[in-house]
Amino acid sequence: ADPDDDNDGVLDADDLDPLDSDVGGDSDGDGKPDWVIGDATSRYDQDQDDDNDGVMDADDAFPLIPTESVDSDGDGIGDNADTDDDGDGWSDYDEAQCNSDPLVPTDTPADDDSDGICDLMESSISFESYAPIVVVLVLMIAAGAAISARMGQKSFVPPVPPSPPPLPLEGEDGD
C-alpha cells in the first residue's frame, strides 16, 4: 500500500484528504490544512492562523507555536520565553525593577559604575536598610554580655580544656 496516495509529501494517516494533493496535514487540528499547494481558492480556505492563537500567520513570528507570536528583538526567541525582550543586555525583570522599558533597547537602567546593577537597586541595598538589624544585634550581644557577667562568666566562649599529657616515647617506661 502506498503511504502517500496523493504524493503531496504528507502521509495518508496525517493527510486531511489523502487523495487530494492540494490538501495536506493539519498540525493544529482545526480541520483546515496548514498550507494549500496551488491556488488558495481550492475547496478549502487557506488556514490563516495555524496555531489558533488569534494572531494571523502573516503577523505571527511563530505561526506554529500557540504560546508565542512576538519576537521584539529578533533573536528567534519569543517574548514569552525571552528574558531580554529588547536585546539590550538587561533582563526584563531588572528593567522593570529599575524603571526602564523592557521593550525599548535604547531605554536601559542607569548604572553609573557599570557594574551591571542599576543605580536604583544599589541604593536599595545600602547600609541604611540594614542599620536597624545591626542595632538590634549589637543590643543583643551587649545584653548577653551583661547576663554572662552576672553569672560570673568572663566571656561567651567556653573555656578551652587543657591539652592531654604527651604520650611517652617508644622505649620509655613512663615511670
pLDDT band at 162 (very low <50, low <70, confident <90, very high): confident
Mean pLDDT for the chain? 77
Q: Give the number of other CB atoms < 10 A from CB of residue 85.
A: 24
Compare 72 and 35 and report the one with higher pLDDT. 72
Q: Which residue in the block uniquely carries the three cell numbers 536601559?
A: 108
- pLDDT of res. 126: 55
131-154 pLDDT per residue, tens: 677 677 777 777 766 666 666 655
Q: 34 or 38, which is more confident?
A: 34
Alpha-carbon separation of residue 135 from 126, 129, 132 (angstroms):
15, 12, 5
Give the three cell numbers for residue 14.
Answer: 496525517
Q: What is the dihedral of CA 162, 163, 169, 174, to 10 degrees?
A: 20
Percentage of residues in the chain having pLDDT higher than 70: 67
Residues in the chain: 175
**Helix residue ranges, H only, 9-97:** 92-97
Indicate if the pLDDT at residue 118 is higher than 80: yes
pLDDT band at 63; cut points 50, 70, 90: confident
Is it the case that residue 100 has pLDDT exceeding 90? yes
Domain residue spans of the chain = 1-69
Average pLDDT score over residue span 4-19: 79
Concatenating the DSSP letter of every residue in 86-108 gives: T-SSS-HHHHHHTT--TT-TT--
Please tell me the predicted confidence (pLDDT) of residue 89: 94
25 beta partners: 15
Specify the range with the lowest mean pLDDT, choosing from 26-30, 58-62, 68-72, 98-102: 26-30
pTM here? Answer: 0.45
